[in-house]
Structure 1
Amino acid sequence: MKIQAQRERAGIFSQMHKKKGMFVIPNAWDAASAYIFEREGFEAVATTSAGIAYSLGYCDGQEITIDDLEYAVGKMADRISVPLSVDVERGYGETGRQVKENIRRLLRAGASGFNLEDGQGDGALSPVELQIEKIRAIAELKEETGIDFVINARTCAYWLDVAGEEEKFEIACQRGNAFAQAGADCVFVPGAIGEETVKKLAENIEAPLNIILNGKFNDLKKLEKAGVRRLSTGSGPARYIYGNTVEIARELRCGKTEQILSGWLSYNEANEYFKDQI
């Protein structure tokens, strides 16, 4: 991707976080899903680490390599014309310097933003000092490259259910504000979080708030009213698709073909759909 085009996409994405109101950003797992989301009207697309891992036959949790992620990001960014935010999990590195170089690679592949999380594989949270080191290192790339990409700092306090309700809230707010002070443009607090807690998070975190779509609180109008700026779909769309694929495989193994043959998208329609350049 030409650097000017990437700067333009990153600038657009940055402004989306500064405007009033909430925007929905769907999470894609390959070039086709990213293409579909843009074609159906979304102004930006994000990746899902779980979805990309599933697409390569692995479970989530940094089971793929940075090479795998760079390849997937490049394919997505080349096929769409809107900003692409990339879930880099813990950054595929344990120091700020390592993470910075990985982010540099993904910028070259066409990314316009990054999710960096503090959840570890053992169910605990990374030391806050380490996360601050990583965020500051990533932020240095903005000046070095001239690309105003978005740093979306994720705290997994609710996702990993690390403590009781009051303590989780305090942890999320403390970490979110520390991440914002270190250079994060948005704070991501995923989990099944109720309406009142979402309101309190929006009031107490001094950065735009990103929430994940979940079964506990998912009314878009109420989410916007509660102060959410960015709503992610997470791995939901990918799991829906792969769940249907599992059902088809099981039915076919039992000699049933009705579901496969009942799809609304014909071969010719699929070719037509994916033919156009956006």
Structure 2
Amino acid sequence: MVKLQQQKFEVFRALHERDRAFVMPNAWDAGTARILGTFGFEALATTSAGYAFSVGKRDSFACLSRAEILENAAAIAEATELPVSGDLEDGFGAGPEACAETVIGAVECGLIGGSIEDATGDLSSPVYELEQAVERVTAAAEAARGRPFFLTARAENFICGRPDLKDTIRRLQAFSDAGADVLYAPGLPDLEAVRTVCREVDKPVNVVMGLKGKAWSVDTLSKAGVRRISVGGSFARAALGAMMRAAHEVLEKGTFTYAKDAVPDAVVAGMMRARKEDRRG
């Protein structure tokens, strides 16, 4: 297990060293991990939003615990042969020690990477002050040292109502100095902002796609300097959208034409792991 995890880590690290971005879609349970693993992607990520929706919760620090996020991540990592990077929210605590504990727990559950964000969950003060944010990343990086773990540090300004590109870059640069391996600022407003971030930092940059109003291609993002693309909870929302459209059709029209677009049972079954359990006798 340890050797396999190290091998996955080496593969994952090498993906970030290429001169073209790779796509790392976000699975929200073991089943979606197995499905995505059949398409030719080279790595997967988890999504706290997708997981939260699947268990009837909101994607927030108040609703999701470290234990359940890591349990879900372990199921995803076990379901695929691909490297899996985890959405580790804010590290599940304000203090640096919480971020360190989360990284150690992530390694133990089979993840080979994960992201720590600088959002606080407090609307009156939505992101940590820079000094505290850096201390948190430093603790996470120290916990990852000597372990097969690729640390992503997230600057949340643009999705926390603080559209300050200069401060976002300052934070990402500080996170790099603190030991982060990948830098990530979700919600950048335009392609020029993406180019500026990639130009101003010295580590690979992750960009999230699937957000409303942004449809840049892999090729366009690669030319802008991006090295990794994730989709956050957008695949999960796309799946929920299909279900809701089917439900509306049945309720409002009394028809079932949605079934023509449904994946055949045999196709899905073929993607799943066969585990025979003899419950007789």
TM-score (norm 2): 0.90
Match of 1:251 among 249, 253, 256: 249
- CA distance, structure 2, for counterparts of residue 264 and residue 241 of structure 1: 11
Q: Is the 8 A contact 1:189 1:211 kept in 2?
A: yes
| Structure-2 residue corresponding to 1:44 | 43
| Structure-2 residue corresponding to 1:20 | 19
Residues 142 and 117 (structure 1), Cα distance of their counterparts in 2 relative to 1, 3 Å cut: closer
Alignment of 1:1-278 (within 5 A): 2-62=1-61, 63-123=63-123, 124-143=126-145, 146-163=146-163, 168-213=164-209, 214=211, 215-254=213-252, 256-275=254-273
2:220 alignment partner AA: K
- CA distance, structure 2, for counterparts of residue 275 and residue 122 of structure 1: 42
Secondary structure at 1:228's aligned position in 2? coil
Give, in angstroms, the shift of residue 148 of structure 1: 3.2
Number of paired residues?
270
1:131 alignment partner AA: A
Q: Is the 8 A contact 2:5 2:148 kept in 1?
A: no
- CA distance, structure 2, for counterparts of residue 193 and residue 221 of structure 1: 18
What's the RMSD between the two structures over aligned residues?
1.9
Secondary structure at 2:116's aligned position in 1? strand
Q: Which runs of 5+ in 1 are unaligned?
A: none
Q: What are the Cα deviations for residues 217-263 of structure 1, in whole angstroms up to 9, with x where unaligned?
A: 51221111111111111111100101222233333344734145324
Give, in angstroms, the shift of residue 264 of structure 1: 4.0
Q: Is the 8 A contact 2:38 2:271 kept in 1?
A: no
Secondary structure at 1:103's aligned position in 2? helix
Q: What are the Cα deviations for residues 64-93 of structure 1, in whole angstroms up to 9, with x where unaligned?
A: 211211111111111101110001110111
- CA distance, structure 2, for counterparts of residue 275 and residue 30 of structure 1: 14
Q: Is the 8 A contact 2:206 2:226 kept in 1?
A: yes
Give, in angstroms, the shift of residue 140 of structure 1: 1.9
Secondary structure at 1:152's aligned position in 2? strand
- CA distance, structure 2, for counterparts of residue 73 and residue 10 of structure 1: 16
Q: What are the Cα deviations for residues 203-228 of structure 1, in whole angstroms up to 9, with x where unaligned?
A: 11222111111433512211111111
Q: Percent identity?
A: 30
- CA distance, structure 1, for counterparts of residue 114 and residue 226 of structure 2: 18
Q: Which runs of 5+ in 2 are unaligned?
A: 276-281
